[in-house]
Amino acid sequence: MPETPARPPLVLRVGLLLVLVELAALAALAVSIAVEALGGGGPSVGPSLAMAVFFLGLAGLVAAAARALHAGRRWGRGPVLTWQLLVLAIGVSQAGLMPAWLTVLGVVLPVAVAVAVLAPASRGWTDDAGPHAVL
């Protein structure tokens, strides 16, 4: 039986790093929405806070899925790829409304993550039986 490496493949680590960048942006958006709502930024405090909590929960779910992929667990692939499809849909649908650099980022980033997660080396890391001993 071949010995499994102690660390995930580089392509998967790069993809997961990009996911963390996306999640940091989502968390920053959630915090800014909450701060604006609590600072008297409008009459819709309740819905704004609910949206901020939803965004933080979504970021937590995708972060847990990314950690699972890093540990070699297959179940993380679905939430991470679903998140990439949502980011891609937003990037494409808002193309005329966002600055060009943000549109490019909203299209290129999710495609790069999806390619990294679905790369043969990444699939091999997550398709092995059982989690890997990775911290």
Q: Phi, psi (5° rounding) for residue 88?
A: -60, -45
pLDDT, tens digit (0-9, with 9 covering 90-100), for 17-40: 999 999 999 999 999 999 999 988
120 C-beta neighbours (distance < 10 Å), count: 10
Please state the domain extents for the chain.
Answer: 10-127
Among 36-45, 64-73, 101-110, the least confident range? 36-45
Residue 1 has pLDDT above 80, yes or no: no
Amino acid at 9: P
